[in-house]
Amino acid sequence: MNNQRWNATAPKSLFDQGVAGRRATTFPRWDGEDLLVELPAEVRRAEAADFPSLSEPEVMRHFTQLSTLNHHIERGMYPLGSCTMKYNPRINEKVVGLSGLADLHPEQSIDDVQGLLGALKLLEKSLCTITGFDSCSLHPAAGAHGEYLGMLVIRAFHLGRGDRDRVEILIPDSAHGTNPASVVIAGMIPRTIKSRHDGRIDLDALREAVGGKTAGIMITNPNTLGLFENGIREVADIIHEAGGKLYMDGANMNAIMGKARSGDMGVDVVHLNLHKTFSTPHGGGGPGSGPICVTKELAPFLPGPWIHEEDDGSYSLKKMPVQGSNSIHTHFGNVGICLRALAYILRLGGNGLTRCTEAAVLNANYLLRQLEPIMDVKHGQGCLHEFVASGSSWKNDFGVRTLDIAKRMLDFGVHAPTIYFPLIVEEAFMVEPTETESRESLDHLVQVLRAIHQEARENPEIVTGAPHTTPVGRLDEATAARNPDLRWAGPCNCG
Ligand SMILES: Cc1ncc(COP(=O)(O)O)c(C=O)c1O
């Protein structure tokens, strides 16, 4: 790590600031009876704790400064491909903070939580309407968790019919990286199918791959090249004829919401990433939500308890219909995230959600056309909400790699795109602007990339040595991700 740079911009810790006796809070005076109880000597401190003594403005400035050391959507554009880093509207926070929701306890009696159960049921129904399905489980806490549950459901369906041999899940090579991992964790075997040269699933390869071991296929749609799998109906027919089920990774729903429904495409299970499409916070490993929606046939394999709407409009909980089936989370999943997503859906309504899709696709296509003169986009035809460019020509012509471009973007206050993914594009540079960016911010991104292109041509060291303005320079990224050093080590010349 480049300590020099950290020295230049790091704020002092709170412990290195302040003056004895200064404070930010004044405690109210207690005028009642003196209730002080002497604590036993063995649990008392020998001396007062060494807390920092600071005024309120000092505390506010400190944390505001810290919040700008890392990038976030309120600070600037976040065009991270495959992540849908859209703005998280504040109304979602307001709704989830209402005391009738925020102050509930998960073990409270059913009579006390009727409002919450009603809200969750409404979310289930809304997601079923958006995807064209009959039943929904809000339990999964992330997209990959939804994939995992979907795999358990498909496996339980086959086992329920005594079909023990169906253990293979076919996965196109353009699938999201979590797909094969979820298959393995669910105890099944992923088998890759090559894409055609236009980036879509090869139906002939699929016909050859299916057989008596096929439990199903898992297909990311739109796929990670931002392309709609327009053969999906044929995929459904082929897989169903072979006795398998069609799982759709619907995390890219921001590209088709309000326009096309998985249930109408012959899909059996779909998951949604509420933290992508429905504007709930994510990133940094924060809580997410990856509900799955399924056909009537698969509904009995969803985990319980189920929220059941009685004839009189009240709600009760039903046990899971299939004994011991597929429990993956306590209660109803990440309820706070579910409520934020519901607030977003109700705020926008069906037409609003459809317009989000239209604007997300328009923004991606606008950017694609603007960037084509400086970057190759092999699979740009039919691009939906995101596209994958390639930095190969920069590498060949200027010795500047996609990693260097991404690092240099940070110096311009723009978050880097997703790089080196999907694997099927060399020097991949994957951009998803989302609908919440204005024309001006898209143009800003284009100007930044044009400026970096000029630097790469004229003075590539600026780009290959970037970033130059962030608190830390280039890290050993594998070590930083696997062994993050999150402790404050004191003021920095500590070596
Ligand atoms: C297409 C796709 N599928 C699955 C996932 C996995 O979702 P999560 O990161 O919530 O596990 C993602 C994540 O962004 C995704 O883009």
- Ligand 1 neighbourhood includes 274 CB (under 6 angstroms): no
Q: Which of 361, 454, 475, 333 is nearest to 407 (CA)?
A: 475
CB atoms within 10 A of CB 185: 15
Instruction: Give per-residue pLDDT as tens, 66-112.
Output: 888 888 898 889 999 999 999 999 999 999 999 999 999 989 999 99
Instruction: Give per-residue pLDDT as tens, 396-412.
Output: 999 999 999 999 999 99
Distance 251 CA to ligand 1 centre (A): 6
- Ligand 1 neighbourhood includes 289 CB (under 6 angstroms): no
Instruction: Give per-residue pLDDT as tens, 407-439.
Output: 999 999 899 999 999 988 999 999 999 999 999
- Ligand 1 neighbourhood includes 255 CB (under 6 angstroms): no
Is the pLDDT score of 33 beyond 80? no
- 283 neighbors 142 (Cβ within 8 angstroms): no
Is the pLDDT score of 494 beyond 60? no
Mean confidence (pLDDT) of the chain: 92
What's the pLDDT at 164?
95
Q: Which of 203, 210, 263 is nearest to 241 (CA)?
A: 210
> In the chain, which segments carry CATH 3.90.1150.10?
358-470
Atom 8 (ligand 1): residue with closest C-alpha?
143
Place of tokens 């694609």: 368
Q: Tell me yes or no: is domain 358-470 CATH 3.90.1150.10.
A: yes
Task: Report percent pLDDT > 70 for the chain.
Answer: 94
- Quick one: average pLDDT of 111-119? 96
- Ligand 1 neighbourhood includes 290 CB (under 6 angstroms): yes
- Ligand 1 neighbourhood includes 249 CB (under 6 angstroms): yes
- 36 phi, psi to nearest 5 deg: -55, 130
Ligand 1 atom closest to Cα of 147?
A: 4
Distance 95 CA to ligand 1 centre (A): 25
Ligand 1 atom closest to Cα of 82?
A: 16
Place of tokens 């991700």: 481
Distance 143 CA to ligand 1 centre (A): 5
- Ligand 1 neighbourhood includes 254 CB (under 6 angstroms): no
- Quick one: average pLDDT of 292-313? 94
Distance 269 CA to ligand 1 centre (A): 16
Q: How many residues would you count in the chain? A: 495
> In the chain, which segments carry CATH 3.40.640.10?
91-346
- Ligand 1 neighbourhood includes 176 CB (under 6 angstroms): yes
What's the pLDDT at 321?
67
Binning pLDDT at 50, 70 and 90, where does residue 32 land?
A: confident
Angle CA(344)–CA(348)–CA(349) in degrees, nearest 5? 110
Rounded CA separation 77/472 (Å): 20
- Ligand 1 neighbourhood includes 251 CB (under 6 angstroms): yes
b/e sequence 373-409, b meaning 16+ C-beta within 10 Å: ebbbbbbbebbbbbbbbbbbebbeebebbbbbbbbbb
CA neighbours closer than 13 Å in the CB half-sphere of residue 368? 25
- Tell me which of 82 and 49 has the higher pLDDT: 82
Instruction: Give per-residue pLDDT as tens, 170-226.
Output: 999 888 989 999 999 999 999 999 999 888 999 999 999 999 999 999 999 999 999
> What amino acid is encoded at 126 in this protein?
S
- Quick one: average pLDDT of 449-453? 98
Q: Which of 258, 236, 262, 234 is nearest to 249 (CA)?
A: 262
* CATH code that applies to domain 91-346: 3.40.640.10
Q: Which token pair is 400?
A: 């500047």
Beta strands across the sheet bearing 387-390 = 387-390, 428-431, 418-419
Ligand 1 atom closest to Cα of 83?
A: 14
Binning pLDDT at 50, 70 and 90, where does residue 472 land?
A: confident
Binning pLDDT at 50, 70 and 90, where does residue 4 land?
A: very low
Rounded CA separation 170/398 (Å): 40
Stated as kind and residue range, the H or E segment containing 306 is: strand 306-309
Distance 296 CA to ligand 1 centre (A): 25
Rounded CA separation 110/268 (Å): 32
Q: Please tell me whether residue 32 adopts helix, strand or coil conformation.
A: coil
Tell whether the torsion through CA atoms of 452, 455, 457 and 461 is positive or negative.
Answer: negative
Q: How far is CA 82 from the centre of its chain?
A: 8
Instruction: Point out which residues pair with 201 in neighbouring strands.
Output: 195
Ligand 1 atom closest to Cα of 175?
A: 1
